Amino acid sequence: MTNTIQPEALTFECETGNYHTFCPISCVSWLYQKIEDSFFLVIGTKTCGYFLQNAMGVMIFAEPRYAMAELEEGDISAKLNDYDELKRLCLQIKRDRNPSVIVWIGTCTTEIIKMDLEGLAPKLESEIGIPIVVARANGLDYAFTQGEDTVLAAMAARCPKQVLEAEKEERNGIQKLLSFGRKKEEVAAEESEYVNHPPLVLFGSLPDPVVTQLTLELKKQGIKVSGWLPAKRYTELPVIEEGYYVAGLNPFLSRTATTLMRRRKCKLIGAPFPIGPDGSRAWIEKICSVFGIEPQGLAEREKQIWENLEDYIQLIRGKSVFFMGDNLLEISLARFLIRCGMTCPEIGIPYMDKRYQKAELEMLEKTCQEMGAPLPKIIEKPDNYNQIQRIYELQPDLVITGMAHANPLEARGINTKWSVEFTFAQIHGFTNARDILELVTRPLRRNNALKDLGWDKLVKEEAKV
């Protein structure tokens, strides 16, 4: 009888470092573009405004739908009446922009001075006739991406429970207009493509092309997406009733998942996230299994994508990557890069929700075993001083880090990539895996180009100095 060696399990450690990450109010920079009929009112100090305008570059977009309610010496709290001043600002927003919803983004300052935004909002909402959603996306959160989590959790409470008869007639009328000129047989054939399954709502803010891609991927399996949270317009928020199934698109949406399960009594589909061809296949397969559907053609689809990525994979196969921790996408990205042939000694992550990321962690472990790669050590709330010492010892080929540490590491001859770029890039679904590898390989391709020019020796000499 031979003894079988049990595979080692993932190890988790927690350090006591600070959260080296952007402020969560940065979610405004992508949510106001996603929800087209919204307006975001950030209630904070001038520093918040400087951050949004300069660090996030929100002002480069035409007509940004956000504004600042500044808390300073003669501010809306110190000398003036909170309610009256917020009413004045919201009435101005209504007059100038007439949005379908105003989202109040509470900052650290509103927490410190104990502003009762949740108490003020309902009264003001009924007075001005525009819905007001309160989201406390302040710097007390673990990662900047959790700002979106807070906003979506607040919006989940506003999703309608049932469609009224008048709305049904209106939607049927719109559907008739969309189907105008098409034969009845075509419309019926399209409906017959779907399997009879419970309603499914997907949550997570993604660019419209990615929404279309994922919707079509599920349609190929006969699965109909009943709605998206957030919707393109606030007035089109999905109907969510007890017993509906929901699935997340991003690892940082644990608060939204909890809200949907506890308050709306939804059933969460715990799946790996659709990042990379492996994650996309696993995500679709899990949804299919929940609805009792036999997935079709996914293995061939994934194989085809891997073949198309081979030119990029050749650049990183056998190399190592180190995650310092910034945007909570680290587990999913590490799993995908290990599948590409990389090794990952350490994954730093600001916050680890093991329940919401359970399927992703299991897939990471399975991927390491299948690829014969060592399991990474997962460090929650990493101390960056200790991490940098470990980076010097390990000498990884690439470090994915926040912007604060990129240049100092580059100056010491270590290749880096900003983690924030993965937040804003289109990385979900089969077809966008190439975009991930484009970002990952860019510093490596740059160094290869420097070697061809003979500049790499000069760079190393400067690093020694």
| Sequence ranges of the domains in the chain | 24-138, 196-294, 300-464
Q: What pLDDT, on the 0 to 100 scale, is given for residue 62?
A: 47
**Contact between residue 69 and residue 43 where contact means Cβ atoms under 8 Å apart:** yes
CB crowding 58-88: b at 16 or more within 10 Å, else e: beeeeebbbbbbbbeeebbbeeeebeeebbe
Q: What pLDDT, on the 0 to 100 scale, is given for residue 285?
A: 97
- How does DSSP assign 252-305, residue by residue? T-HHHHHHHHHTS--EE-----SBHHHHHHHHHHHHHHHTT----SHHHHHHHH
300-464 shares the fold of 196-294: yes
Express each pLDDT in 161-194 by its tens digit.
Answer: 876 545 555 555 555 555 555 555 554 445 568 8
Using a pLDDT cut of 70, give the percent of the chain over it: 85
In the predicted structure, residue 263 carries a pLDDT above the cut 60: yes
Q: Which CATH number fits domain 24-138: 3.40.30.110, 3.40.50.1980, 3.30.365.10, 3.40.50.1370?
A: 3.40.50.1980
In the predicted structure, residue 380 carries a pLDDT above the cut 80: yes
- Give residue 240's pLDDT band: very low, low, confident or very high (50, 70, 90): very high
Q: Fold for domain 196-294?
A: Rossmann fold (3.40.50)
**Rounded to an integer, what is the distance from CA 284 to the centroid of its chain?**
18
DSSP annotation of 42 reads E
Helices then strands, counting H and E runs in the chain, come out as: 20, 14
**Rounded to an integer, what is the distance from CA 84 to the centroid of its chain?**
35
Instruction: Tokens for 240, please give them.
Output: 């969510």
Strand 132-135 relative to strand 66-70, pairing: unpaired
Q: What pLDDT, on the 0 to 100 scale, is given for residue 172?
A: 54
- Give residue 21's pLDDT band: very low, low, confident or very high (50, 70, 90): confident
Q: Which residue has the higher pLDDT, 184 or 309?
A: 309
Q: What pLDDT, on the 0 to 100 scale, is given for residue 396?
A: 96
Q: What pLDDT, on the 0 to 100 scale, is given for residue 67?
A: 84
Express each pLDDT in 391-432 by its tens digit.
Answer: 999 999 999 999 889 999 998 889 999 999 999 999 999 999
Q: What pLDDT, on the 0 to 100 scale, is given for residue 93?
A: 93
Which residue is it, tokens 């809306």? 76
Q: Report the alpha-carbon angle 30-33-39, nearest 5.
A: 100
Q: What pLDDT, on the 0 to 100 scale, is given for residue 123?
A: 94
pLDDT, averaged across the chain: 87
Domain 300-464 has what CATH class? alpha beta
**Rounded to an integer, what is the distance from CA 435 to the centroid of its chain?**
16
Express each pLDDT in 91-130 by its tens digit.
Answer: 999 999 999 999 999 998 888 888 889 999 999 999 999 9
**Distance separating the N- and C-terminal Cα atoms of the chain:** 60
Strand 200-203 relative to strand 101-106, pairing: unpaired
Q: What pLDDT, on the 0 to 100 scale, is given for residue 187?
A: 46
